[in-house]
Structure formats: structure tokens, C-alpha cells
Structure 1
Amino acid sequence: MNVSFDDKQPIFQQVANIIEDDILNGTFHVDDQILSVAQFSQLFQINPATIVKGIGLLVNEGILYKKRGLGMFVTTDAKQKIQLKRRERFTKELLSDLLNEADKLGLTTQEIMDMIKRLRKD
């Protein structure tokens, strides 16, 4: 896996996002064991402490759980929790920015909807 990290957010947060993406896209399912810290560290070529911090975020959010001596596993409702979190962020950040820019451009709600429909080709 070739991952390039950016400067927009801390690397540990990007690691958490990558794991979340893998849960959302079906790479990891309920009760699946994720890669170990050592495996992630080797795969991403980053410090294990950074991986631990990223995984810790997901444990605190109830997305992963630890089985002592075995590793980290995906919780039953991980996908739903990630979707809810990301929908809230989508609404607060992306849609808010989109609407602010649309207001500056004088776009109506209908014009925005038409643009979205063209892009999605529904």
C-alpha cells in the first residue's frame, strides 16, 4: 500500500482515517482483526507511536476494541459510528463551505441542486 501523508492534519489522524476508510469499504468487517502496530508501522514507514495514537483515537470512539494479547478488532457498530461522524463533519465543514461559496457567487438552491445532479448523473 502506497500512502502519502499530507500536512493538513496530524499523521496519527490520517492513520485513523485510513483505518476508517478500510472499514467503510469492506476491507475490515465486524470482529475482524486489523493489522498490528508493527505491520502498520512497516507498511506506512512511520513511527509505531504514531500508529498507536491513531488506533487509540478509534478505540476511544468505540470503533475498535482490544482483545488482550491478540490485538485490535472492529466493533459491531463501527461502520455506523464512522458514517455518523463523517456525515456530521460533511454537513458542518464541506456543505457549510459550499453554501458560503455559493452565496458569494449568487447561486440559488436550485442551481446548486442541478449542478449536483449533473455531477452524480442520477
Structure 2
Amino acid sequence: MVEFTGSEPIYVQIARDLREQILTGSLPEGAQVMSTTAYATTYRINPATAAKAFAQLVDEGLLEKRRGVGMFVTAGARQQLRDGGRTDYRNTVLKPALSKGLALGLTAEELTEHVTDAIHELQEESR
């Protein structure tokens, strides 16, 4: 169960959690998302808060509302998140990490070796 903490608005946290579920495949394309009422009851929040998060994801093209049926993950939602996430990852995670490595005096070859080693470690951990 998700816990909503911190100063960030709950609807932002809900939207981020749903994006992550779509990205990881735990909420696959075509899957129905629980209703705002069910979401509010499960997480003990105001239904309007859940509705605001869902509306944001509809605006982003990740969810679609089927009148009288509910909210569903759109076709292509996972790829849309991957495409956007790759650019964001490069700019907000990778470049600053590489910049720090260069500032520490690591060479391009050393950085490449560290990245390769870290990838192998992560792959081993996930097995």
C-alpha cells in the first residue's frame, strides 16, 4: 500500500505512483484503474484528490475515461513514459553524476568501467 508523505501534494504523489506502475508494467496498457471512490476509501483520502491525479494523467494521455465503465491505461502509455523518462534521466541523473565523476578526476574510461560494473551488479541482484 502506498503511503503519502512529505510536503508534496497528495494528488502529485498519486499521479507519480500510477506513472511508475505503468512504467514497470504492474499496471499494463488496457488495465482498469481503481475508481476514485475506491482509491479514496483504500488510501483514506478525499475522492477529489484522487480525481485530480487521474485528470492530470488523462491530460497527459496516460489514462482514458470510458463513460460508465471507468478509467483505463491507454495504449502506448508505457512507451510514452519510457520516451519522456529517457530524456529526463539523461539530463537530471546521468549528466550530473558524470559531471561529479569528472570533477573527482575520473577519466571517461574509468566512468565507463564504473557504469558497466554497476549495471552488472544490478542485473545480478535482480536475478
The bucket for the TM-score relative to the shorter chain is 0.7 to 0.9
RMSD (CA atoms) = 1.9
SS at 2:55's partner residue?
Answer: helix
Matches within 5 A, 1:13-52: 13-52=12-51
Contact 2:11 2:52 in 1 (8 A): yes
Gaps of 5+ in 1: none
**Structure 2 residues not aligned, in runs of 5+:** none
Which residue does 2:62 correspond to in 1?
63
Match of 1:118 in 2: 117
Task: From the superposition, tell whether residues 96 and 47 of structure 1 become closer, same or farther in structure 2 (CA, over 3 Å).
Answer: farther
In 1, Cα distance between the equivalents of 2:67 and 2:34?
15
Aligned residues: 121
**5-14 or 62-71: bigger deviation:** 5-14
Task: Give identity over the alignment, percent.
Answer: 34
Give the Cα separation in 2 of the matches to 1:7 and 1:36. Answer: 24
Q: Aligned pair in 2 of structure 1 residues 109, 5: CA closer, same or farther (>3 Å)? A: farther
- 1:92 equivalent in structure 2: 91
CA apart distance, 1:9: 4.0
Normalised by the size of structure 1, how large is the TM-score?
Answer: 0.85
Relative to the length of structure 2, the TM-score reads 0.82
* Cα distance, 1:108–1:9 mapped onto 2, change above 3 Å: farther
- Inter-partner Cα distance in structure 1 for 2:92 and 2:22: 22
Query: d(CA) in 2 for partners of 1:84 and 1:33?
Result: 23
Shift of 1:59: 0.6
- Give the letter aligned to residue 94 of structure 1: V
